[in-house]
Structure 1
Amino acid sequence: MNKAALKEFLDEKVILYNNPKFIESDPIQIPHTFALKEDIEIAAFLTATISWGNRKMIIKNAFKMMELLENSPYDFVLNHQEKDLKSFENFVHRTFNFVDFQQFIKSLQHIYKTYNGLENVLNITDNSQNYKTAIHQFKNVFFEIEHQQRTQKHVSDPHKNSAAKRINMFLRWMVRNDNSGVDFGIWKTHNSANLSCPLDVHSGNVARKLKLLNRKQNDWKALSELDENLRKLDKKDPVKYDFALFGLGVFEKF
């Protein structure tokens, strides 16, 4: 498939999957239950954090997280006290347990009180064209308060060659304004041109079949290769092709 044919094929798949019907079966439905900016971004961040494994289980457990936050995530994060975190003690999603959940709430409180929120902490400050260093610095900020060592594995670090799939998905949700009502586009200080595709088994396999990716591992080096090729197709909104790659992999078994 030449470049023009590939672009036409993928653009059609973006239109097919980047629409409100996509929300019904996707974890993005959890932040869509909120209206306040801070509620949306905290719900989205926590949902993205547990987005691995069975999608129905991800959605079920993300809604459970919101219940434990009294369905007011921003108010809970800002105003909770230590005793309020006791109710988390039965929560678990795969290897993310109540200790991790409690730590995330404490770290988020630190970020909103000290740095005025996630949008500021995840912004690109080094003139680069991607979030590699921004995510690395975000992890440093996230764990600059006292924390359990075990929780560090739940925030990826591109400087250790992680593809940071879940944080890149969260960034897509927050930054990309798709005019279709799926991604939120509420982080106006960020630029969609700098986003990277959330690289997982499905999108990686489809990208390789379409010759958009040669590298075998799903790591940051692979993501950089994929970024380069997707930006040739649309330099302003390269991550829209996540819908095409994901849809082809999950729904069409391409």
Structure 2
Amino acid sequence: MKQNELKDFLDEKVTVYNHPSFIESDPIQIPHLFTKKEDIEISAFLVATIAWGNRKSIINNGKRLVEIMGNSPYDFVMDFSEENFSNVEPFVHRTFNHIDLAYFFKSLNNIYINHGGLEYVFSKYAEKNSLQPAIHHFKKVFFSLPHLPRTQKHISDPLKNSAAKRINMFLRWMVRNDNAGVDFGIWESLSPSQLSCPLDVHSGNVARQLNLLKRKQNDSKALEELDDALRKLDKHDPVKYDFALFGLGAFEKFTENKKN
């Protein structure tokens, strides 16, 4: 498939999946419960953190997180104390547990009180053409308080060769304004051109099938390769193609159909 044909094909799929109906089956529905900027970004960050495994389980546990926060994420975080949290029923999503969640609340409290909020931390360390260094620095700020080593595994570091799928997805939600009502676009200090594709099994396999990606591992090197390919298709909004790649893989079983 020639590049202009590939672009037309993927643009068509973006139109199909970058649509409000996408919200119904996606974890992004959780932050869509809110209208206040801080409520949206806090709930989005927490849901993105647990966004691995069964999608139904992710959504159900995302709703549970909202309940724990009394349906007011920002107020809950700003008033958070570990003493009060000890009375909350334990939370578990796969390997992310009650202890991890307590630290996440404590760290978010610190970020809003002492570091200007989530958007400011990411924008402070952003580079012109990439947010991957910003993710690395964000992780250092996030874990600057005393914590158990086990909790660090729940935020990936691109500078340690991770594709950082979940946090790149969170950044897509916050930065990209799609005019379709799916992504929020509430972080105006950053540009969609700086974003990286949330690389997972679905998007990676479809990208390889379409010759957008040659590297076999879904790591930071693969992410860089895929970003370069997608920016050639649209340098201003390359990550819109996440909808096409994910939709083709998860909903249309594109790679399986190609084999048959």
Determine if the TM-score, normalized by the shorter chain, exceeds 0.5.
yes
CA distance in 2, matches of 1:207, 1:68: 38
Q: For residue 86 of structure 2, give the secondary structure of its aligned residue in structure 1.
A: helix
> Are residues 1:159 and 2:166 paired?
no
Q: String of CA shifts for 1:20-62, please: whole Å, max 9, x gaps.
A: 0000000000000001000000000000000000000000001
Give the match for residue 80 of structure 1: 80
TM-score (norm 1): 0.98
C-alpha contact (below 8 Å) 2:136/2:159 kept by paired residues: yes
> Are residues 1:25 and 2:50 paired?
no
Give the match for residue 105 of structure 2: 105
Q: For residue 123 of structure 2, give the secondary structure of its aligned residue in structure 1.
A: coil
Give the match for residue 170 of structure 2: 170
Give the match for residue 185 of structure 1: 185
> Which runs of 5 or more structure 2 residues have no equivalent in the other structure?
255-260
Q: String of CA shifts for 1:103-149, please: whole Å, max 9, x gaps.
A: 00000000000011000111153644111210000000000011111
Give the match for residue 5 of structure 1: 5
Give the match for residue 258 of structure 2: none
C-alpha contact (below 8 Å) 1:123/1:190 kept by paired residues: yes
TM-score (norm 2): 0.96
Superposed displacement of residue 222, structure 1: 0.1
Cα RMSD, aligned residues only: 0.9
Residues 176 and 29 (structure 1), Cα distance of their counterparts in 2 relative to 1, 3 Å cut: same
C-alpha contact (below 8 Å) 2:81/2:106 kept by paired residues: no
> Are residues 1:15 and 2:18 paired?
no
Counterparts of 1:58-69 in structure 2 under 5 Å? 58-69=58-69
Superposed displacement of residue 89, structure 1: 4.5
**Counterpart of 1:9 in structure 2: which amino acid?**
F
Q: For residue 42 of structure 1, give the secondary structure of its aligned residue in structure 2.
A: helix
Give the match for residue 38 of structure 1: 38
CA distance in 1, matches of 2:190, 2:71: 27
Give the match for residue 238 of structure 1: 238
Give the match for residue 51 of structure 1: 51
CA distance in 2, matches of 1:177, 1:171: 11
Superposed displacement of residue 83, structure 1: 2.2
Superposed displacement of residue 84, structure 1: 2.1
**Counterpart of 1:204 in structure 2: which amino acid?**
G
Q: String of CA shifts for 1:127-176, please: whole Å, max 9, x gaps.
A: 44111210000000000011111100001001100000000000000000
C-alpha contact (below 8 Å) 2:82/2:102 kept by paired residues: no
Counterparts of 1:135-154 in structure 2 under 5 Å? 135-154=135-154
> Are residues 1:198 and 2:194 paired?
no
Q: String of CA shifts for 1:79-111, please: whole Å, max 9, x gaps.
A: 122222114442100000000000000000000
CA distance in 2, matches of 1:161, 1:246: 22
> Which runs of 5 or more structure 1 residues have no equivalent in the other structure?
none
CA distance in 2, matches of 1:88, 1:232: 49
CA distance in 2, matches of 1:182, 1:71: 21
Q: What number of residue pairs does the alignment pair up?
A: 254
Give the match for residue 207 of structure 1: 207
**Counterpart of 1:107 in structure 2: which amino acid?**
S
CA distance in 2, matches of 1:104, 1:215: 33
**Counterpart of 2:241 in structure 1: which amino acid?**
Y
**Counterpart of 2:36 in structure 1: which amino acid?**
L
Residues 21 and 126 (structure 1), Cα distance of their counterparts in 2 relative to 1, 3 Å cut: closer
Give the match for residue 96 of structure 1: 96
Give the match for residue 114 of structure 2: 114
CA distance in 2, matches of 1:126, 1:21: 32
